[in-house]
Structure 1
Amino acid sequence: MPETTASCARLSGYRIADLTTAEFRLGPMADLPISARIVLENLLRHEADGGNDIDAVASEARRGMAGREIAFRPSRVIMQDYAGIPALIDLAALRDRVAAEGGDPSTINPRVPSDLVVDHSLLVHATSSAGAFSDNLGREYRDNAERYGFLKWAQQAFANLRIVPPGKGIVHQVNIEHLAEIVSKRCIAGQDWLIPDTLIGTDSHTTMVNGLGVLGWGVGGIEAEAVMLGEAMSMALPPVIGIRLTGAVPDGVLATDVALWLTEALRRKGVVGAILEFHGPGVAALPVPDRTTIANMAPEFGATSAFFPTDERTLDYLRLTGRAPEHVGLVERYLRANRLWPDPAERPRFADVLDFDLAATRRTVSGPNRPEQRRDLAEVPQAAREMASAITRGDGSVRDGDIVIAAITSCTNTSNPLAMIAAGLLARNARRRGLTVAASIKTSLAPGSRVVRDYLETAGLLEPLEALGFALVGYACTTCVGNSGDLDPALEQTIRDEGLCVAAVLSGNRNFEARIHSAVKTNFLASPPLVVAYALAGSVYTDLTREPLGHDASGAPVTLADIWPQADEIAAVLAACVTSDQFVTAYAGIFDGDAAWQALETCDGPLFQWSEASSYFRRPPFFDLPSLFGNGPILADARPLMILGDAVTTDHISPVGAIGADTPAGQYLESLGIARKAFNAYGARRGNHEVMARGTFANPRLRNAISDRSGGWTAIMPETRPATIFEASECYAARGEPTIIVAGSMYGAGSARDWAAKGTRLLGVRAVLAVNFERIHRSNLVRMGVMPLEFLSAADRMLFADRGDDRVSVETPLVGLAPGARLEASLRRADGTTVAFAVRLRADTAEELEYLKAGGILPRVFAATCPTPPEGAPHG
């Protein structure tokens, strides 16, 4: 970084970009939210790099305005393996290209510190036994040996990259408990600096770290790659909305309940793309694990971040989790000195303020297929019945409403000791009354940290959980990401044959259709103790507020109120059984692998050795993709490949679950001689673009109006011939006919899944026309060279209805357009009539327009990294 022109000062021998001194130029910091001050510090520190009008940014932020283009430079990148491996594959391919041009491939490295945590690949095969953990981990290594061998190569090949091997924890929990620094020491241009810890992650729930006062959010892998290679993030300055908390969480209510209440309220409010900053008297009443549970759900709110400024409770959490005392002291000194510590006397100006009374929250569940569908417990049975037929079906062994999966899983809740201890105490109390869980329910306990097992065992709570079937299955993201594994074959066959609407209950953050298990239509999110309670009840048709969970040995009914632990008992166990030593022990050697990791075969050297025989890895094509947009019209008689409704998620676009044998991806793998049992999941196959292109839009619950079949089907026009999405895309490409996708609102909600955009690009889609987009997916589309266009009137989406034979044109060329330009479009019917409508180009910054012109961010980065050699120069 060149010498900054920002005002500098020194603290403890380190240089800092001094916000106090900057007040003389930019105005009082007290007017700005703390998250905005962190952004401003970042821009000031990099002022000499250009790309920012800092005075204008400060002025607009002070007035609660947003939208100005900024170049933001996060201090680190964090990845999970599903999204991180494709990013590292692209870097490996970039090294190949550099070597082919006669350059030194070892110069291609992450330029900012980058961590990858292997946490998304474990499937829940074994359950309800003491050996489930070792059985699942062993199967994980066997199924993913080739992928993990690649990571071992990357570990030795790339500088500035650390790998956390399998079985250590979930990326976000590892982040808050160990990796996050809040304030980082960096050597910049030979100078020692203190800087705020800021980051982006290849998972939308990166926002969990916002609960510590670390500003960061989720992006797609393609955007993360650019940051890793030293590119600034070109983005529109987000508005900062204040969430003013009052009151205190009532006894018997957990952070999960608060997070689900906020999800409903904030979705209704509309906060897409905003940074939320929590303030007010209620914040001090929330311990950090409760804050991180709430912050984790920012993607479900629709927000960019859910930020809790660092305060005394944060410092207590740093001490508890084993951070060095000298670092904790440095964090406090820096934040106080640089105006980044909350001051109740300050009244920052927010773009908007929403008041939220913690005291008004109650125990709650969300479902049956969206996190924002908050239900009081008494409302759950009716919500579940609405998903099923009015006539109760079943053969006596399984019926509509029966729970077949109950999982304590996900970073959101397993990071919270209060919630986990409450689950253990409820299990203990249930066992004392003689209650059991039906064997037909697949139960599992998958904490995000090894510390969870330590304190549950210390408290004597692991045994009652195991006795109810909640045995440890792994330290990974399992059921919440769709890695729930198979159900009993006979049970699953009955469910499918009879069309039963059975249920899953999980302590996760996402419950989209077909995400948890393809045979399970109804999915409810709940706190860990409520997961145990529903497993005991056995059906989501049970009203936990008035009906018994079961009966004791004497035949007496046992209700939820009978076994719910008291708040003072939970607090006492927490104080006695959660210790700093547990964290220190758990994270000692976190980057060292076990014997299975050490035994993995891999290659050495700066270049990855691609194998033609591999079904997991193919050299990616993205650096060679030309721009879809030249000097001609943006769209010329484009055909709709799909016409979709509202709330199409990235799970619908790029599923992560099992690969079906009857899908294009399954047929491709079979053509390679791969047995069905070795297909693995889409998420594990992300290194093979041939699989992923065929898997795009393969979710069995996807509904495309052009086809009368659910799943990845459409009709080739004008013949109206039924075809898979992949087959139709190849047909249109062969004809030279451009294609588009038409969609409703909230298009691309859900995970920060770069393959949802990569797959769309490989299908040849030029543009997506939607009522509106979720932030991350819109950004990913642009960075893959696919144009996002928003209908100026939501009613215009209905012009398409279910007509797949329309043709769409936008005569304007891309060249010369401004960000967010209004464009005139036309719809030509099969009978020759035309209808005009308007769309807005959702390339929001000048930099994003350049990505579209270049064919995406990867060709643009390659062009900058490997400029064309002069004529006559030697080639590698």
Structure 2
Amino acid sequence: MNTPTTPDMLSTLDVGRHTYHYYSLPKAAQAFGDISRLPVTLKVLLENQLRFADDASVSNDDLQALVDWQKEAKSTREIGYRPARVLMQDFTGVPGVVDLASMRAAVAKLGEDPSRINPLSPVDLVIDHSVMVDKFGNPSAFRDNVAIEMERNRERYEFLRWGQDAFDNFRVVPPGTGICHQVNLEYLGKTVWTKEVDGKTFAFPDTLVGTDSHTTMINGLGVLGWGVGGIEAEAAMLGQPVSMLIPEVVGFKLTGKLREGITATDLVLTVTQMLRERGVVGKFVEFYGDGLQDLPVADRATIANMSPEYGATCGFFPVDDETLKYLRLTGRDDDQVALVEAYCKDQGLWREPGAEPIFSDTLQLDMGDVEASLAGPKRPQDRVALSDMKRTFETLLNGDNKDLSSTEKGKWLSEGGQTAVGVEKSYEGLDFTGTDSQDVDLNGEAFKLNHGAVVIAAITSCTNTSNPSVMMAAGLLARNARNKGLGTKPWVKTSLAPGSKVVTDYLAAGGVQDDLDALGFNLVGYGCTTCIGNSGPLLEPIEKAIEQGDLTVASVLSGNRNFEGRVHPLTKTNWLASPPLVVAYALAGNVRLDLTQEPLGIGSDGKPVYLQDIWPSQAEIAEAVEKVNTNMFRKEYAEVFDGDDVWQSIDVPQSEVYQWSDQSTYIQHPPFFEGMGRTPAPVEDVHGARILAMFGDSVTTDHISPAGAIKPDSPAGRYLQERGVKPVDFNSYGSRRGNHEVMMRGTFANVRIKNEMLDGVEGGFTRHVPSGEQMAIYDAAMKYQEENTPLVIIAGKEYGTGSSRDWAAKGTRLLGVRAVLAESYERIHRSNLIGMGVVPLQFPNGENRETLGITGDETISIDGLTALTPGGRVNVTIASDKGEKKIEALCRIDTANELEYYRHGGILHYVLRKMIGSA
């Protein structure tokens, strides 16, 4: 807390038996101007600036700029934002703790006290990204998967247990508890935070940054938070402000109500499509309108969760009665709920009916217009109406395959279109593809696998498993399907991975867990599974048929991410859908059906069963949701940090500085601080750089950052096998994020990435210039390092879209890349590149790799890095045997703080030097 730079900004608030001190926004309005129509998100930022005002890091000009934002609904002012806390998941959290441990080692090497390296803000790390769907479709799947998880990840968990003991302000939620965003929503989030300072209790908005882009889910609870790179989060936990320009705020007005049969998932896919089309990258989105009065927090959280998918920094919902209702339901105590109501009303953070804040831009949606939808096949913003799914998939196959009309399907059914195993097991269905079908024998049952086959149906991910209405709808649909005699097709890998243990409590209380189990949706774990590529292997006969027939098959998941190569290497099309639709497609077995018109299968009475026959009514769903009660939340979160016996039995080494082991293939001492002095070396221009790879538009951090399975013949696979790790024990890239040797070998190694330097080649390959030899990108990078050749990456629009993956930047730096030259950037990845000392450059308007005729054979020189200013320009020379081309590129180091980080070689170098007093 700082002393405010303007007098009389402090006030007190009596709530019940408690007195709270706080920095008053009404008093700030008296000093700086009316803020009644300022968006609530900017009021939260204003309070943050007011609380940390010190005439140095925060000045009166910063406060005035936030108030004056209303004049033009935009600003060019840079501010330093200090969130109350930091949230991590284990994929991004392990490398964060590795960096902290490495910083301690560096500080000790410089002769300073390593215990000075500690989080200064509260940090919660939830282990939720490590469980994989190895076992499924049986009652022991959860127990077996947890046992496998603990065995696979013991080294990582030992390291996290060390960190939990070694660092202050650092808590770990053990595996098998839930997804970090749902734990945050149901337990960690407070809406209004408190802190004891000099014997006084201060109240202020609950704010955070997280190392997962879906940190925005907490926006549904009126908590301002968003995802940042692990690098930036580490700086925030070490006391550095998050440097940001005061954002534009787009208002999204919601009116009306959802129709019968329409889910919150359908709503969020519609919102995602609308906002992505409007263009909100780098902007705040704030929802308003009287439609919010009937939109529960669970639905709001579903919308807020997918902020990264529509490109916004956050998707915020102001506090109102629905917020209080959710806080009570989830077991927050009465004093906390009373504080939230009193504080938000006093500060003008409460949503008032009819409120019309000033926004940079607005959109409006009548929720009554939303229709049943999915999104895919490879981008979450590409919404497809349920009725258009069949046509969309046929278009993907270029219309070359047989497309039977509804009339033909009816004729097929009337003629007894079922397999020899009986009507109740109509596995074969329609042979949509003729000669492309593959015969499969699985556990003694024969069927054909076709294009469009649903080989994965997963109820997974934080987006939807936080929402009782869609989860109960899935259970009720499963019950109705069983009553009709329908079953899941045998080629479908089914799984249920809820976001918290509360979900299984209420599914059991609602009497629908048994129905889900009967269709193969047994509990497989509490965590991010299929949505992040932890889908596990398909059954061997299925994988073999897909590969032999080169079949274009599908996954259907209730997640938020479906980028190429993410869910499973063999599922070329991946479709986001509501949990009940996931169940429906498991029953249908193929996405080449119009489920609004055509049957899911044949019932036990020999008649076709349609989706509308088994879809539960809103009244049925509402009755089931009434089973959710406060005691469930209190029971499951009573010992949230304890873990099971296996977790508690892990040996924890006691030391301030971590004892690295050369034998570990999970945790290695990264080289980021090797040779680091107390002062930074001068910045140098880049001359004679080679192009490591050249990419098109929308290359995501899923393409760049190692994720999913490790191929045995890849550089990372070879590295592990050289150290005695068998392919069966590779685990995933995500689980090995604490080992830079694995991660740098997997950077740009996605099986679907397309390097335009090569013709018709998919995967992490490039051409080494000037030899012309094709090789893995990692191998080429190492060859260039031996030749002392700096590297650059060339890319198109929206470079780095996707999750807040720090290794997309870390791996880029370790491969020797000095700069990226792209047409535009995703916010987090741009920041992460700077945080690792890689300069992001932007082509001038109208120019790109195509207009300049770049082939990848050129050398690149960059002049002007030594005299950079925020938002400045540098001269880029592109030379080839045909001559030289010069452009003036925009340097996307946007703020003074970012420039300081770059000059120090990265944000962690800057923070470390500052903590020991040399920066």
- TM (norm. structure 2) is 0.92
2:66 pairs with 58, 71, 86, which one? 58
Aligned-residue offset at 1:867: 4.4
Aligned-residue offset at 1:490: 2.2
Give CA deviations for 1:795-836 in whole Å, capped at 9, x if unaligned: 423145561111222322332x221113332321222x1223
Residue 183 of structure 1 contacts residue 195 of structure 1 at CA under 8 Å; is this kept in 2? yes
Residue 835 of structure 1 pairs with residue 897 of structure 2: no
2:192 pairs with 176, 183, 199, which one? 183
Aligned-residue offset at 1:97: 2.2
Aligned-residue offset at 1:677: 1.1
- Equivalent runs, 1:647-662 vs 2, <5 Å: 647-662=698-713
Q: Which residue of 1 aligns with 2:563?
A: 512
Give CA deviations for 1:115-167 in whole Å, capped at 9, x if unaligned: 00000000001101111100000000000001001111111111111110000
Aligned equivalents of 2:911, 2:310: Cα separation in 1: 32
Report which stretch shifted further, 1-10 or 462-471: 1-10
- Equivalent runs, 1:532-611 vs 2, <5 Å: 532-575=583-626, 577-611=627-661
Supply the AA of the counterpart residue of 2:104.
R
Aligned equivalents of 2:263, 2:76: Cα separation in 1: 36
Change (3 A) 1:474 1:324: same
Q: Which residue of 2 aligns with 1:2?
A: 2
Q: Which residue of 1 aligns with 2:777?
A: 725
Aligned equivalents of 2:517, 2:151: Cα separation in 1: 26
Aligned-residue offset at 1:48: 1.3
Aligned-residue offset at 1:626: 6.9
Supply the AA of the counterpart residue of 1:79.
M
Aligned-residue offset at 1:34: 0.7
Q: Which residue of 2 aligns with 1:772?
A: 824
Supply the AA of the counterpart residue of 1:584.
R
Q: Which residue of 1 aligns with 2:283?
A: 274
Q: Which residue of 2 aligns with 1:121?
A: 130
The DSSP-based 3-state class of the residue aligned with 2:187 is helix
2:905 pairs with 855, 868, 873, which one? 855
Report which stretch shifted further, 302-311 or 722-731: 722-731
Aligned equivalents of 2:541, 2:846: Cα separation in 1: 46
The DSSP-based 3-state class of the residue aligned with 1:156 is helix
Aligned-residue offset at 1:184: 1.1
Change (3 A) 1:345 1:676: closer
Q: Which residue of 1 aligns with 2:21?
A: 15
Supply the AA of the counterpart residue of 2:322.
R
Report which stretch shifted further, 79-88 or 611-620: 611-620
1:616 pairs with 661, 666, 682, which one? 666
Aligned equivalents of 1:746, 1:176: Cα separation in 2: 30
Structure 1: which 5+ residue stretches go unaligned?
870-876
Q: Which residue of 2 aligns with 1:349?
A: 358
Q: Which residue of 1 aligns with 2:406?
A: none
Q: Which residue of 2 aligns with 1:872?
A: none
Aligned equivalents of 1:546, 1:625: Cα separation in 2: 67
Aligned equivalents of 1:655, 1:85: Cα separation in 2: 15
Residue 290 of structure 2 contacts residue 354 of structure 2 at CA under 8 Å; is this kept in 1? no
The DSSP-based 3-state class of the residue aligned with 2:647 is helix
Aligned equivalents of 2:502, 2:270: Cα separation in 1: 28
RMSD of Structure 2 on Structure 1 (CA): 1.7
2:492 pairs with 410, 422, 441, which one? 441
Aligned-residue offset at 1:255: 0.8
Aligned-residue offset at 1:14: 1.9
Aligned equivalents of 2:658, 2:201: Cα separation in 1: 35
Aligned equivalents of 1:515, 1:632: Cα separation in 2: 37
Aligned-residue offset at 1:629: 11
Residue 169 of structure 1 contacts residue 449 of structure 1 at CA under 8 Å; is this kept in 2? yes
% of aligned pairs identical? 49
The DSSP-based 3-state class of the residue aligned with 1:529 is helix
Aligned equivalents of 1:698, 1:412: Cα separation in 2: 27
Give CA deviations for 1:418-464 in whole Å, capped at 9, x if unaligned: 00010000000000000001121100000001111111111110011
Aligned equivalents of 2:634, 2:468: Cα separation in 1: 16
Aligned equivalents of 1:372, 1:430: Cα separation in 2: 30
Residue 617 of structure 1 contacts residue 687 of structure 1 at CA under 8 Å; is this kept in 2? yes
Aligned-residue offset at 1:868: 5.9
The DSSP-based 3-state class of the residue aligned with 2:266 is helix
The DSSP-based 3-state class of the residue aligned with 1:334 is helix
Aligned-residue offset at 1:526: 0.2
Q: Which residue of 2 aligns with 1:642?
A: 693
Q: Which residue of 2 aligns with 1:376?
A: 385
Report which stretch shifted further, 204-213 or 396-405: 396-405
Count of residue pairs the alignment pairs up:
866
Supply the AA of the counterpart residue of 2:671.
P
Residue 624 of structure 1 contacts residue 859 of structure 1 at CA under 8 Å; is this kept in 2? no
Aligned equivalents of 2:915, 2:670: Cα separation in 1: 17
Give CA deviations for 1:762-816 in whole Å, capped at 9, x if unaligned: 011111111111111111111111111111225423145561111222322332x
Residue 387 of structure 1 contacts residue 522 of structure 1 at CA under 8 Å; is this kept in 2? no
Give CA deviations for 1:459-503 in whole Å, capped at 9, x if unaligned: 110011000010010111100011000011221122122211010
The DSSP-based 3-state class of the residue aligned with 1:606 is coil
Q: Which residue of 2 aligns with 1:25?
A: 31
Residue 762 of structure 1 pairs with residue 803 of structure 2: no
1:785 pairs with 809, 829, 837, which one? 837
Aligned equivalents of 1:769, 1:494: Cα separation in 2: 41
Aligned-residue offset at 1:51: 2.3
Residue 716 of structure 1 pairs with residue 759 of structure 2: no
The DSSP-based 3-state class of the residue aligned with 2:449 is coil
Residue 428 of structure 1 contacts residue 465 of structure 1 at CA under 8 Å; is this kept in 2? yes
Residue 697 of structure 2 contacts residue 798 of structure 2 at CA under 8 Å; is this kept in 1? yes
Change (3 A) 1:312 1:262: same
Aligned equivalents of 1:652, 1:120: Cα separation in 2: 18
Aligned-residue offset at 1:381: 1.6
Residue 691 of structure 1 pairs with residue 742 of structure 2: yes
Give CA deviations for 1:539-576 in whole Å, capped at 9, x if unaligned: 0001101110011122111000100001111111112x
Aligned equivalents of 1:218, 1:692: Cα separation in 2: 21
Give CA deviations for 1:527-550 in whole Å, capped at 9, x if unaligned: 000000011000000110111001
- Equivalent runs, 1:259-298 vs 2, <5 Å: 259-298=268-307
Aligned-residue offset at 1:20: 0.6
Supply the AA of the counterpart residue of 1:579.
N
Q: Which residue of 1 aligns with 2:343?
A: 334
Change (3 A) 1:794 1:644: farther
Report which stretch shifted further, 125-134 or 488-497: 488-497
Residue 50 of structure 2 contacts residue 63 of structure 2 at CA under 8 Å; is this kept in 1? no
Residue 474 of structure 1 pairs with residue 476 of structure 2: no
Q: Which residue of 1 aligns with 2:437?
A: 394
Supply the AA of the counterpart residue of 1:490.
P
- TM (norm. structure 1) is 0.97
- Equivalent runs, 1:229-240 vs 2, <5 Å: 229-240=238-249
Change (3 A) 1:578 1:304: same
Residue 805 of structure 1 pairs with residue 857 of structure 2: yes
The DSSP-based 3-state class of the residue aligned with 1:70 is strand
Supply the AA of the counterpart residue of 1:790.
Q
1:366 pairs with 370, 375, 390, which one? 375
Supply the AA of the counterpart residue of 1:463.
D
Change (3 A) 1:503 1:801: farther
Aligned equivalents of 2:788, 2:879: Cα separation in 1: 18
Aligned equivalents of 2:643, 2:654: Cα separation in 1: 17
Q: Which residue of 2 aligns with 1:404?
A: 455
- Equivalent runs, 1:69-218 vs 2, <5 Å: 69-188=78-197, 190-218=199-227
Give CA deviations for 1:328-368 in whole Å, capped at 9, x if unaligned: 00111111111211223643211111112211110000000
Residue 744 of structure 1 pairs with residue 787 of structure 2: no
Aligned equivalents of 1:280, 1:2: Cα separation in 2: 36
Supply the AA of the counterpart residue of 2:770.
P
Change (3 A) 1:34 1:25: same
The DSSP-based 3-state class of the residue aligned with 1:641 is strand
Aligned equivalents of 1:435, 1:465: Cα separation in 2: 12
Supply the AA of the counterpart residue of 1:827.
I
Aligned equivalents of 1:202, 1:185: Cα separation in 2: 23
Q: Which residue of 2 aligns with 1:490?
A: 541
